[in-house]
Amino acid sequence: MKFILLTQNAPKEETQIGELKISPNKRVKIITESMTMYWDSMNVEVSVTDWSVVNEWVTFHNIIFNDSISLEWYESENFNSDKLISDGECVDLVDYSDISKKVYFLEVYPSVIRYEDLYNKYIGQSKENKALVKNYFNSFGDKRVVFTERKIRDDNFLRILVLFSIIESIIGDSPYCPKKISCCVHGKIYPHKTMSSKDWIKSRLSEIIKNKEKADAYSVVVLEVREKIRHKTVHKGAISEAQHIPQAEGEITWDWVKTTEEWSTNSTALENLQIQMNDIARSLLLNRIFDLTMFPALRPLHSVRISSKVG
């Protein structure tokens, strides 16, 4: 079977990946009622009639490149080449023999990364690890909301909770103490943890991320979510109370201090918290599954408002 896949990372030349043969196609445009969108695309030819093979490859492609457009197109009702209009050659073709410049945003991995090598590692992963990757792409909410001033639903709490569960799965649980503690009320003997959950998270992130400054920065974000979102959402059904706050025209830089102070009331700050959790979860997944040891510094986030008029 053959199809065209939209992507931000089309291969520079024809490449055989397991049962799939992929090659560059064209720059294409999609015209909707509200906008015209432009994307690069690739040709995909599969030697077997088995969508599960393609599902696995698309999942891999998305986690490696963080290429959400290909996943959204693949799962959408518009997955049909008749919807695509050719608009010249691809703009940004990628050399799949070394994708080290494309895996991390604005950072280059210090050694060669071959796309095919990573794919072979991925298909050999356990069901548990593959489930973590699929869970990473779970999202919530109605993406059709255009004007944030009129947005009522904000499911960032749930998205952040999913990301925390992935991080928690990778970190694991604190081991139990070999000694037993007797319950004075019930007379039973219960095991207990060797350290608190907070200390365990800090300890494990320091073990995985050798750079202390980055490990500490990741810990601060993860613990913020654990204490202020995870518990309330799981145990009390909390929802976001953050509201859209119109800002003056121009640009705002959301560093961690501003984000942590305002995420509970400002929807833009909450979105920035989600982005940072995205980055942490993805970096930990890339390390766990592909043995990639880079953990980028958490990026300052920006919000730009072009017009202060309410739509």
What confidence tens digit (pLDDT) does each residue in 6-37 have?
Answer: 999 999 999 999 999 999 999 998 887 778 88
Tell whether the model's pLDDT for residue 308 goes beyond 70.
no
pLDDT band at 307 (very low <50, low <70, confident <90, very high): low
Which one-letter amino acid corresponds to residue 144? Answer: R
pLDDT digits (tens, 9 = 90+) for 138-185: 877 655 555 666 767 778 888 999 999 999 999 998 887 777 776 766
Average pLDDT over residues 288-301: 92
The CA distance from 160 to 144, in Å, is 20
Asked if residue 39 lies in contact with residue 88, where contact means CB atoms within 8 angstroms, the answer is: no
pLDDT given for residue 196 in this prediction: 85
- 40-71 pLDDT, tens per residue? 999 999 999 899 999 999 999 999 999 888 99
- Mean pLDDT of all residues in 226-243: 84
Helix 267-290 crosses helix 115-123 at what angle (to 10 degrees)?
80
The DSSP 8-state label assigned to residue 259 in this structure reads H
DSSP 102: T
Chain segment 278-294, per-residue pLDDT in tens: 999 999 999 999 999 99
Q: How much is the pTM?
A: 0.88
Percent of the chain with pLDDT over 70: 90
Q: What is the pLDDT of residue 294?
A: 96
Strand spans (E) along 47-164: 85-86
Q: 117-131, 182-196, 254-268, 274-288: lowest mean pLDDT where?
A: 182-196
94 pLDDT band, cuts 50/70/90, is very high
Judge whether 53 and 19 are in contact, CB under 8 Å. Answer: yes
